[in-house]
Every structure is written in structure tokens, then in C-alpha cells.
Amino acid sequence: MSPSPALPHAARRHLLQATAAGLAGCWLPTWAQPAAAPAAAPLPVAQFFQRPVFSGAKLSPSGQRVAVRASAAGQRDRLAVLDTATLKLQVVAAFKDADVRRFHWVNDQRLVYDLADHQSADADLQFAPGLFAVNADGSGYRSLVHREHVTERYDRHLRELPWNTFLLEQGGAQDGDHVFVVQPDAVTDKGFDYFRLLKLNTVTGLAEEIEAPRQAFQWLIDARGELRAVFTAKGARAAIHWRNPADGRWQALREFDRFGLNADFAMHAVAPDGRLYVTARPGTDTEGVYLFDPATDQLQQPAVLALPQFDIDPSFVWRGERVAGLRHTVDAEVTQWFDEAMRGHQAEVDRLLPATANRLTPPRRGDGPFMLVRAQADVQPAVHLLYNSSTRKLVRLGAEQPHITPARMAAMDFVRYKARDGLEIPAYLTLPAGHSANAGTERKPPLVVLVHGGPWVRGAEWEWQAEVQFLASRGYAVLQPEFRGSTGFGQKHFTAGWRQWGRAMQDDLADGVRWAVAQGHADARRVAVLGASYGGYAALMGLVRQPEVFRCAVAWAGVSDLLLMFDARWSDTSDAFKRHGMPQLIGDREKDAAELAAHSPLQQAARIRAPLLLGHGRVDRRVPIEHGRRLRDAVRPHNPALQWVEYEKEGHGWALPETQADWWGRVESFLGQHLAPVAA
């Protein structure tokens, strides 16, 4: 298969303003119409962090309906169904004290969904998500999984499954009334441990357990709704098991150290002939998608899709029982279509919407003309549209953030720069409106280095991001490095970050600043480093190791003590990861104790002299608040420019829009004070 080209996002972005004007005339529910924006004043901070009002749109298997999560600003998220022929929208599930969270089509007439409470912070959450079913016309409501303390419409059935039953996000055949759910075999203070798989009838509420190996964490169900493969793990060991269709017996296909270098064989889907779609790197630096034959234990060449600079983390698009396309991310999300007709439809949608990255979803079953489009860009939050493949016309359904005006947002570009040891670092650069690399010295903007958490994840892609656009709206350039240790850019890039907390991973950030300054993108005298979780750790270490580069820092939910990561009891980090993963990725708790201390901000607190804004949620279980409080107490005696914020009911990150608005308002004031223009 031919590789997907990188998205020409810069060319698309320049067309966005005209395209957005054309979209404005499409049909849009009155409650989702964008409000008029002021001509000059920057948007208030709270407007960047509002919850989406029209999101998660999903096409029914036949394409006759679209289900969507919908609300008016400040109200609860409801589940609504839209008829693709008439565009009539009907709310089928709504609660006064809960929000619809995840939802899926069971078949063309029935949906399942669970609930959340987006108006409560972590400390106030009192109930499980539950699981409910309803028909597309609002009839046939049933509660399937018990949920405490809910809802006005809740009436308990004797056949409800216990609260710790969760929907498995695999569609299966989508031609019956059942879904797959999982129940934990054990519950620990870290969460749930191992799961059983059940097949649940959404009409009767009856469930049956599906036989599978124990200690399972992932299940692979084919397009006929049959369980075919299972991923299991215990401690450091992991295995992939396959059910032989000839005799129905389970056998292990692969066994490996799940935290090691050979943990790069992952299963994703079942082909119609029983082969497995997997990701692997057979002698290559990047992961590609391959077909694997369980009967012969052979990984088959050539790759279904592989790229030289990007790992493929696939999402499969099905038509009937075959894979029609494969979504993956380069600089932005793209789709590699294996179906010639779908390639033509994608080209037509891209012609109609040339300024956005356009995710096209066809009906799973049947040959109906309607397809769903999700269009988004760096300056455009997602917009959902309906494409008629017969007439080649688009109809706008709704926008996730209708109050955001693309013309007032800042452009983002995907770049690469060299670290001091020659490693190429991918990054995203956003320049505030009115700035370019050719600006004079007096007009170069201050720079914010925004460091992603994880750190073993991919941090960003070419899309609208609230934090980035808020900072750019206040006049800051924003650099988001995919420093070594980030995933998605090959094994060499990933393993170069092993045991490099506070060292080479930190140097990558400073090298990014030097690159941005040399390219004329930023004022070298006005640079800040910001981040949460690992990003918070990196922000703190920026003040420890490179005070000549970073004038100030903002850290929230940040790690301050590498030893405490191993020792903290009130943490949701699994014992298996502490025992087997962290020694390899960060360092050994006993053998490397001195090195871990040397690269911990808490032990280096005396060196933190620059202005620092520090925030933490009291009920954070990923990075317990002791990280923040201990650092606050160690820095405060010698640093009068320390600001401390503790949110009583928040956890790891900010759940409530009002917390987001308060925090980013503080960030705005802090940066405005410490990154003000420097006299020549």
C-alpha cells in the first residue's frame, strides 16, 4: 500500500477563513449558532475552556441516523439522534444531574450510553458511569448497569449488572441487540485488576460470560461479533492469545516483557480471513501495520502501511466485514483508504473543505449515500457535517466550539529542529497574530515552551488546542516539543529518553528555545516554560538547570521528587509499573537513588530562584499533592516570587471550566508580569 502523504496543513490553513464563511450558511440548530465576537478585544479566558456543545457525532450502521452529544452552554450533555434524510433532531436521553458521556450504536435502531458529571470536580464524584440503552426514537429505555446516587429517570431493574461493569468499545457485528462489557476480577486501591468479558443483551438485560484466558486487559472481536484474540498481563510479563477456529482452543501467540523493547507487537483488528491486523517493527525504526497469520505464526510483508518518520497508531474504518480505511496521525490525522470509491469521496470532501483536515466516516452496513464529516484545523475547533455522496453536497450539523472565530486564532506549524547531540526533535510552533520570522527585534514575541505530560506519549497534533490558542491570543509564541522519550516518532526517538529525566530530555527543551530564537520566532530575553504532570516536572527542572534560558515557569500537577514517585502510597500508579516499568524508563529506586535525587526539583529547590507559579489539586492520585506542598515549602523561604494555588476538589488536572478559567487567568497575570518587554 502506498504511504499517506503528510497533510499540507499550512496551505489548508490559509484557505480556512473563506471556507468558514461558506460553511456559515449551512443548516445549524439554533441553539448551536455562533455568537458574534467583538472586533478587537481578546476573547475572555473562560471562552477558550468551555465544554463542547455538539460533539462525538457517530453515524448509525446504515447511515440513516447520526447520534450526537449536544447541549447549550452551561447545560447538561444530552444524547440526541438526527435523521439524515429530514435533518430532524430528537433528544433521546437527558438528565438533570448527569451528563451523557460515551455512547455507541448497538444496531441501527438502538444505542447504549453511560454517564458522567461534568459539573463536579474529582473530589465530588459519587457514582459509577452505569450503562443504559434506548431506541433511536427515544423508546425502549433500560438501565443495564447499577449506578449509585443517580438520576431522576433511574428505575432499577432486577437484572442490572453491578456498578463495576464497563462497556467495551468494540462494535462487533452491529446487527443484534447485544454489546460486550467487562467486569473486574479484583479491585485494589490502585483500581481494577483483570477483567472478565460478558455479552450483554441491551433489550432483556441478560448477560453471559465469554470464555477467555484470565488476567486479560484487551479483547479482539471480529466483524461477526466473535471473540478471536486476547491480551493478558501479569507483572512484567504479557502475552497475546488466539482462539483457534478449528477446535476453539486458546493458544499463546506471543509472550514478552511488556515494558521492554520487544513490547512493540500489538493486535488491533481481525481481517475477514482470520488474520490479525497488528502493529510491529520488523527490523525497522518505526511501527507499521501488518497482517499476521496466527495459523503459521508469520508476520506478512509488505506492510499494510508504514512510514519512515512516524509510528502508525491505527484506527480502522469498516464497511461490512472488511477494512475500508485506516486512520493515523502524521502532523495531523489522515486516512489511508483501501477502497477506491472512498478515495474519491475523500478527494471530493477535501475539495469542498480545502482548509481543514477532514475525517470521513461511511456507513458500516448498506450503501446509503450519507457519510459523516468531522472537519478541524489549527484555528478551527471541530465542525460536524453530513456529506451526500450522491449529490456531493455538504450540510453542516453543528460545531463543537461555535463561539470560536477561526480568523482570530493563531496559525500552528509542524517543525523539526536538531538537539545538541544531533537527534531531530519534532515540534509544533504557534505564532501570535501579526508576527513572523522576519519581524524586527523589537517585535519578536515572548516565547512559551509548553511541555506535554506522560511523558511516554505523543503530545500534540495539528488541531485547535485551547491552551495554545489562549496563550497566542495574549501575544505569546508557543513551542510544543516532542522531546526524546515521546512516542509516535520511532523507537530511536522513544528509547533516547530512557533514564533521561532532567538530563537529555531537558536539554531538548532548551535546544528548542535556541532554535526558535535563531529562526527569528522569539525574543530570547522573554522565555517561559509551562507544563503539567511530567510537563510540570520539566518546567521546574528548567529553572534548576537552565535559568539563563527560562525567565519564569508555570507548573501544575507536577512531579517534584522522583523518589516519591516510587514511594507514594496514595497514588494510582500500578505496583507492576513501579516495579518493572519505572526502573527501565526512569531509574532504579535503590541503585540509582543518588541520580534520582540529583534530578529531582525538590532536592534542588535552593536553585529555584526565578518566578514560579505552582498549582496542584488536593485529590490528585497520579501525582499526589505532597509533590507540590513539599516543593512549595522548600522554595518559599528563598524565593519571594513563588505563587502557590491549591484547588480543594480537583485531581490530576482541572476538571471544571471554572477552575480552568481561574488557573489560566492566573497564568495570564503571571506571564504578563514576568515576560514584560525588557529595556534595551
In angstroms, rounded to a whole number, what is the distance separating the alpha carbons of residues 219 and 183?
A: 13
Cβ–Cβ < 8 Å for 61, 84: no
Q: Which residue is listed with cell 460545531? A: 399
3-state secondary structure of 470: helix
| Size of the chain in residues | 680
Q: What is the pLDDT of residue 16?
A: 41
3-class SS of residue 32:
helix
Which amino acid is residue 33, in one-letter code?
Answer: Q
Amino acid letter at 183? Q
What percent of the chain stands above pLDDT 90? 73
pLDDT confidence of 346, banded at 50, 70, 90?
very high
CA distances from 389 to 81, 316, 356, 370 (A): 21, 21, 19, 6
- Residue owning grid cell 475552556: 49
For 83-122, what is each residue's pLDDT tens digit? 999 999 999 999 998 999 999 999 999 999 999 888 887 7
Q: What are the extents of the domains in the chain?
A: 1-22+314-404, 410-674
Whole-number Å distance between alpha carbons of 241 and 273: 18
Q: What is the pTM of this model?
A: 0.91
Res 507 pLDDT > 90: yes
Confidence band of 40 (pLDDT split at 50, 70, 90): low
d(CA 559, CA 534): 6
* Contact (Cβ atoms closer than 8 angstroms) between residue 335 and residue 359: yes
Question: What confidence tens digit (pLDDT) does each residue in 149-162 have?
Answer: 444 443 444 456 77
Q: What is the DSSP letter of 52?
A: P
- 472: Cα within 13 Å, side-chain hemisphere: 26
pLDDT per position as a tens digit, 174-228: 778 999 999 887 665 555 567 889 999 999 999 999 999 888 888 999 888 899 9
Indicate the burial class of 249 (C-beta count within 10 angstroms; 0-12, 13-18, 19 or more): exposed
H or E element: which one contains 337?
Answer: strand 333-337
pLDDT of 34 strictly over 90: no
Phi, psi of 567, rounded to the nearest 5 degrees: -95, -20
Split at pLDDT 50, 70, 90, the class of 23 is very low
Cell of 101: 458521556
Torsion sign, CA atoms 459, 460, 465, 467? positive
Model confidence at 380: pLDDT above 60: yes
Mean pLDDT for the chain? Answer: 89
3-class DSSP assignment, residue 481: strand
> Residue 399: left if φ>0, alpha if ψ -120 to 50, beta else—which one?
beta
If DSSP codes are grouped into helix, strand and coil, which group holds residue 666? helix
Dig out the grid coordinates for 7 from the structure. 497533510
CA distance 635 to 616: 15
Task: Report the pLDDT value the prediction gives residue 95, as an integer from 0 to 100.
Answer: 92
Q: What confidence category does residue 347 fall into, taking pLDDT thresholds of 50, 70 and 90? A: very high
Is residue 312 within 8 Å of residue 288, measured between CB atoms?
Answer: yes
| pLDDT tens sequence across 514-572 | 999 999 999 999 999 999 999 999 999 999 999 999 999 999 999 999 999 998 877 88
CATH code for the structural domain at 410-674? 3.40.50.1820
Residue 256's Cβ-count burial label (10 Å; 0-12, 13-18, 19+) is: middle
Residues 605 and 635: their CA atoms lie apart, in Å, by 6
* Dist. CA 187–CA 209, nearest whole Å: 19
Query: Of 3-12, 506-515, 601-610, which range is least confident?
Result: 3-12
**Which residue has better confidence, 7 or 276?**
276
* Cα distance between residue 306 and residue 279, in whole Å: 9
Rounded distance, CA 230 to CA 221, Å? Answer: 9
The mean pLDDT value for 412-424 works out to: 98
